[in-house]
Amino acid sequence: MILKKRLTRIIAFIISCVLVGICVFQCVFIINDNMRQIEERQGRSDVMESYDYTHDMNELFDRLWAISSIYLRNTDKNGRYTCSEQYKSSVKQALTELGLMDSKGRITINNPRGFEYMASCGESVLTYGSETKEALSSDYSLEYSNGGIARIPLGVNWYFNTDKRWYTTNYGLTYYKMCGSLPKNAVALYDFDTTGLDSYTDELGATIYYKTDGTTPVPDNVDSIRDSAETANREAFDQFEHDSDTEYYLPGEEYPYDNYGADNSTYVGDMSEVTDTDAYMFFDENRRSWYKVSKTTFKKYDQSSSDITIYIKPTDNMIAEYEQYHAQRETMEQDSVHKAMPLLPVGIAGLIIGLLLLFCCGYNAEKKKFMLSMPDHIFAELPVCFIGGAIGGVAAMTYGMDEIRSVLAEYYTNVDMGGIITGSAIVACYAIGLGSLITLSTRIKCGSLFKTSLICKIIAFIWKKLKKLCKLISSYTSRKCGRLRSRHIERNALKKDLFLRRFLIRTAIAVAAEFVLFIATIPVREIEAFFVGSIFVIVLYIIFSFRDHAEIAGVAKQIADMNGGDYSPRLVPEKSPAYGMTQNLNNISDGIRSAVDKQVQSERMKIELVTNVSHDLKTPLTSIISYIDLLSAEEMSPAARDYVTIISQKSDRLKAMVADLFDLAKATSRSDMNSEQIDAVILTQQVLGDMADRIAQSGMEVRTDIKAESAPIMADGKKLYRVMQNLIDNALKYSMAGTRVYVYLENDGKNTHISVKNISAEEMDFTPEEITERFTRGDKSRSTEGNGLGLSIAKSFTEACGGSFEIVIDGDMFTANVTLPLIEK
């Protein structure tokens, strides 16, 4: 391997910089010498490229445009005026003010360079030298037609300003705006006699005459223009609308006070405060009155200069001299290229040595492998910044070379100090950029680019801390919950997750494309190209993102279907970014379906077990009760009869329990349902009436508050009857002695609400969920009768009828709420 030793690579680096520097210096000196010769010629006054030449042509154009617009437009081909006497007088006065007409009425044009020209407007023509357009038309001629520059001549250093506008009015004023080198920037011409009229000078220097009889607009502030004008503020003020109940005073009047010395007047400092903004106000000296005229009365009409044609051509001697100079320039540029060509191989050789350094850098001849040196341990961001700075420095030196040379040429006449500074700066940028590329190349070969990056170190530090934090959280959660186990992320998750992999690749490509666009456009000031390219990259990024999003949308639809109960599997291609997620959802669907099937089967088996056990218990229980009835009819001792009575009571309780179990099983399976339209109000009243004896025996008082006349619902009347019966019986059984039981019923438009409230005799140390479970009783000592199925049956029957059942516990207050939907009318 060449350039094995570090000392050899250092020498090669110096040689590369020297070779590139020789080529750069020579090219800079050649460019500066050419630019110096061009500037020296532009500084002369006798050549076409000079600033004086351009100024003289531009000034001549301004004069010809003014003469064409003002004079030729108002004369015929014989030079006779075609306008009124008043307008003719204004034309002469305007041309005199612009220095284009002498005291005898003759057109005068200053043309020190002897340009040939022709200016025409309609049939009126003004020429000097050649009199035809064909003779004046050439690559060196200025051509103006159709209101704009038709040809920009060779040898002119800047673009002409042809923004010359003019307009006419409906009251005899014609206004010309001269944005050029003439003595005045604007002139005004009048088609009426201006003798003795008041006037003022506008912001462009034009003299504006006006009348005070309403036939012309007057200035907004007459006093500032005509100090001798007699004021009549009070007369003017009375002409306009104002509040008659308020006392006003105007400038020059004494400040008024009322009888109590309080100020109740209003000061009007400017007449514009009471005049309309869309009107002119003027004072008639004859009538001694103020008047106002709407501004819409006076109109302006913009006019076009498309009827004007102007040709300006330099002399043949100047054209010949210009062509001879350019022939010499072409020869000089060819000589410059010939001078630079021998040095190009030198510069290319320097660049090749630099490329070889990039391939060989970092190699350790003793250990025979690539190793990092001391400079390679500096943060990688620093050489990256150096590379960007070197590119920017070369671009800045390239674009600012002319300015540097021009500034230093004033102080160094014998030495091209600007070329020396520019060349040195470019070579320094090359050395810095090459050195930065060498250290980055070494890090890449050693696999240490990211390890020596400050940003990567910060990210690694944050990642390490996050992992530690996650471990602490996971450990804490595991200790507290016991059942939760954290799942580790697989190392090959990125390979399996095609959607994430596509996103990262797409984002990396977009960022790289933006970086390349920035490097390729911003240094050369192609801002438009950068924005257009950025928009193109963003559009492509959005298109590819939406393509993947469309496939991921299928996953969202599958999740929505699963939420709706559809657990059927989906099939997608293996190359789809949604393949992995779809397979996971399919596995989840299979698990859910299996769990649901097992749960349904388990519930069915429970219901069948309860139903079968209840059915099997009925037959022997019926026989026991029958024999007890027969036994109670026999003669027996009082003790034996007490025993028979107890057995009869217990058997009746057991019979009721078996019946409740059987009813609960049927309610859970939603079988044996007979829905019909019933009235919840009548049903509630019927239950209370049927339980009147039970209520009387309990010694409790039942208060009712039924706020609806009727509550039509669809339900099974027997089961809903059982619900109300169980709730009232439960309240009578567990209420505190001496308290009341409350039964409420009301409608809210969509549902009817039935509530049974009571004060518990025992402490309620259970939850609403626990008390509605089967065989759960509020009396933990079980000193009262009951089997713990009453509330469970009430809840199951209510839900079977399409309603909802809720238990609310507030201190010792126990409330059972039943909500049933009303039938829509």
Per-residue pLDDT reduced to its tens digit, 501-511:
777 788 888 88
Helix (H) or strand (E) holding 806: strand 804-810
Among residues 506, 697, 767, the alpha carbon closest in space to that of 776 is found at 767
In this structure, the chain runs to a length of: 825
Residue 214 has pLDDT above 90, yes or no: no
The answer to whether the beta carbons of residues 418 and 409 sit under 8 Å apart is yes
Q: Cα–Cα distance between 311 and 153 in angstroms, integer? A: 11
In this predicted structure, which of 586-600, 692-706, 744-758, 797-811 has the lowest mean pLDDT?
586-600
Q: Cα–Cα distance between 628 and 646 in angstroms, integer? A: 10
pLDDT at 107: 92
pLDDT at 781: 45
Q: Cα–Cα distance between 191 and 177 in angstroms, integer? A: 18
The answer to whether the beta carbons of residues 321 and 244 sit under 8 Å apart is no
Mean pLDDT of 81-99: 93
CATH architecture of 593-672: Orthogonal Bundle (1.10)
Q: Cα–Cα distance between 68 and 60 in angstroms, integer? A: 12
- Interval 120-139: pLDDT, tens: 998 899 999 888 888 999 99
Q: Cα–Cα distance between 86 and 562 in angstroms, integer? A: 94
Q: For residue 89, how many C-alpha atoms fall within 13 Å in the half-sphere facing its CB?
A: 8
Q: Cα–Cα distance between 281 and 503 in angstroms, integer? A: 72
In this predicted structure, which of 351-365, 402-416, 668-682, 783-797 has the lowest mean pLDDT?
783-797
Tokens linked to 386: 């150096």
Domain boundaries, the chain: 6-44+318-452, 453-488, 593-672, 673-821
The answer to whether the beta carbons of residues 152 and 293 sit under 8 Å apart is no
Q: Is the dihedral of CA 436, 28, 18, 356 positive or negative?
A: positive
Residue 734 has pLDDT above 50, yes or no: yes
pLDDT at 260: 41
pTM of the model: 0.44
Specify the amino acid at residue 251.
Answer: P
Tokens linked to 382: 């620093």
Residue 485 has pLDDT above 70, yes or no: no
Instruction: Determine how many CB atoms are found less than 10 A away from the CB of residue 25.
Output: 19
Tokens linked to 522: 């911003």
- Buried/exposed code over 441-480 (b: 16+ C-beta within 10 A; e: otherwise): bbbebbebbeebbeeeeeeeeeeeeeeeeeeeeeeeeeee
Q: Which residues pair with 757 in a beta bridge?
A: 742, 815
Better-scored residue on pLDDT, 536 or 269: 536
Residue 274 has pLDDT above 70, yes or no: no
First-to-last C-alpha distance (Å) of the chain: 98
Q: Cα–Cα distance between 498 and 576 in angstroms, integer? A: 7
Integer angstrom CA distances of residue 561 from 121, 580, 624, 801: 82, 18, 55, 28
Q: Residues 216, 217, 219, 220: what is their CA dihedral angle, to the nearest 10 degrees? A: 150
Report for 236-240, 625-629, 776-780: range of highest mean pLDDT:
625-629
Q: 593-672 and 673-821: same fold?
A: no
Report for 29-33, 179-183, 627-631, 788-792: range of highest mean pLDDT:
29-33
According to CATH, the superfamily of the domain at 673-821 is Histidine kinase-like ATPase, C-terminal domain (3.30.565.10)
Specify the amino acid at residue 55.
Answer: H
Q: Cα–Cα distance between 631 and 67 in angstroms, integer? A: 145
Tokens linked to 426: 């470019």
Residue 291 has pLDDT above 70, yes or no: no
pLDDT at 221: 58
Q: Which residues pair with 814 in a beta bridge?
A: 758, 809
Better-scored residue on pLDDT, 786 or 13: 13
Pairing relation of β-strands 247-249 and 265-267? parallel
Among residues 737, 756, 752, the alpha carbon closest in space to that of 794 is found at 756
Report for 110-119, 255-264, 319-328, 442-451: range of highest mean pLDDT:
110-119
Q: Cα–Cα distance between 649 and 632 in angstroms, integer? A: 12
Among residues 645, 626, 742, the alpha carbon closest in space to that of 684 is found at 742
In this predicted structure, which of 224-228, 420-424, 614-618 has the lowest mean pLDDT?
224-228
Mean pLDDT of 683-697: 89
Tokens linked to 47: 């050549």
Pairing relation of β-strands 308-313 and 142-145? antiparallel
Among residues 516, 144, 190, the alpha carbon closest in space to that of 313 is found at 144
Q: How high does pLDDT run on average in the chain?
A: 80
Report for 110-114, 188-192, 566-570, 728-732: range of highest mean pLDDT:
188-192
- Interval 48-71: pLDDT, tens: 888 888 888 989 999 999 999 999
Residue 494 has pLDDT above 50, yes or no: no
Residue 228 has pLDDT above 50, yes or no: no
- Interval 529-540: pLDDT, tens: 878 888 888 888
Mean pLDDT of 241-267: 59
Pairing relation of β-strands 701-706 and 740-747? parallel
Pairing relation of β-strands 198-201 and 265-267? unpaired
In the three-class reduction of DSSP (H, G, I as helix; E, B as strand; rest coil), residue 184 is classed as coil
